[in-house]
Amino acid sequence: MSTTTEVECPGCHAVGKLVLISPDYEGPYACWKCHSVYNIIIKGGQVTSFVPTTREEVDRKRTLDKPSSMPD
Protein backbone atom coordinates (compact mmCIF):
# COMPACT_ATOMS: atom_id res chain seq x y z
CA MET A 1 0.00 0.00 0.00
CA SER A 2 1.30 3.45 -0.79
CA THR A 3 -0.05 6.84 0.13
CA THR A 4 0.21 10.03 -1.90
CA THR A 5 0.98 13.16 0.06
CA GLU A 6 0.81 16.63 -1.39
CA VAL A 7 3.80 18.76 -0.48
CA GLU A 8 3.73 22.51 -0.97
CA CYS A 9 7.11 24.07 -1.58
CA PRO A 10 7.67 26.87 0.95
CA GLY A 11 9.77 28.72 -1.59
CA CYS A 12 7.54 28.90 -4.67
CA HIS A 13 4.32 27.27 -3.36
CA ALA A 14 4.24 24.72 -6.12
CA VAL A 15 2.44 21.60 -4.96
CA GLY A 16 4.20 18.35 -5.64
CA LYS A 17 3.10 14.81 -4.95
CA LEU A 18 5.16 12.42 -2.92
CA VAL A 19 4.29 8.74 -3.01
CA LEU A 20 5.13 7.10 0.30
CA ILE A 21 4.83 3.58 1.59
CA SER A 22 3.83 4.87 5.02
CA PRO A 23 2.06 8.04 6.25
CA ASP A 24 5.21 9.01 8.13
CA TYR A 25 8.30 10.15 6.27
CA GLU A 26 11.49 11.93 7.07
CA GLY A 27 13.90 12.71 4.27
CA PRO A 28 14.69 14.82 1.26
CA TYR A 29 12.14 16.47 -0.99
CA ALA A 30 13.12 18.29 -4.16
CA CYS A 31 10.69 20.82 -5.63
CA TRP A 32 9.89 20.00 -9.25
CA LYS A 33 9.46 23.67 -10.06
CA CYS A 34 12.21 25.71 -8.37
CA HIS A 35 14.49 22.71 -7.65
CA SER A 36 14.99 23.68 -4.02
CA VAL A 37 15.85 20.73 -1.81
CA TYR A 38 14.37 20.32 1.67
CA ASN A 39 14.57 17.81 4.43
CA ILE A 40 10.94 17.28 5.30
CA ILE A 41 9.09 15.46 8.04
CA ILE A 42 5.64 14.06 7.34
CA LYS A 43 3.50 12.74 10.15
CA GLY A 44 0.13 11.16 9.49
CA GLY A 45 0.15 12.44 5.92
CA GLN A 46 0.80 16.07 6.94
CA VAL A 47 4.07 17.90 6.40
CA THR A 48 5.21 19.12 9.81
CA SER A 49 8.71 20.37 9.02
CA PHE A 50 10.65 21.90 6.15
CA VAL A 51 14.39 22.37 6.55
CA PRO A 52 16.25 23.80 3.57
CA THR A 53 19.17 21.68 2.49
CA THR A 54 21.21 21.06 -0.62
CA ARG A 55 21.49 18.18 -3.01
CA GLU A 56 25.13 17.77 -1.98
CA GLU A 57 24.12 17.44 1.67
CA VAL A 58 21.49 14.85 0.81
CA ASP A 59 24.02 12.81 -1.17
CA ARG A 60 26.53 13.04 1.67
CA LYS A 61 23.97 11.82 4.21
CA ARG A 62 22.95 8.96 1.93
CA THR A 63 26.54 7.73 1.87
CA LEU A 64 26.88 8.03 5.64
CA ASP A 65 23.56 6.51 6.69
CA LYS A 66 23.85 2.97 5.50
CA PRO A 67 20.93 1.11 7.04
CA SER A 68 21.90 -2.20 8.57
CA SER A 69 18.51 -3.69 7.77
CA MET A 70 15.83 -2.81 5.28
CA PRO A 71 12.41 -1.82 6.61
CA ASP A 72 9.40 -3.74 5.39
Q: Pick the stretch among 17-25, 33-41, 42-50, 59-67 that binds Zn ion (CB under 5 A).
A: 33-41
Q: Does 33 bind Zn ion (CB under 5 A)?
A: yes
Q: Does 31 bind Zn ion (CB under 5 A)?
A: yes
Q: Does 55 bind Zn ion (CB under 5 A)?
A: no
Residue 34: CB minimum distance to Zn ion, A: 3
What is the SS3 string spanning 8-72? ECCCCCCEEEEEECCCCEEEEEECCCCCCEEEEEEECCEEEEEEEECHHHHHHHHHHCCCCCCCC
Binding site for Zn ion (CB under 5 A): 9, 11-12, 14, 31, 33-34
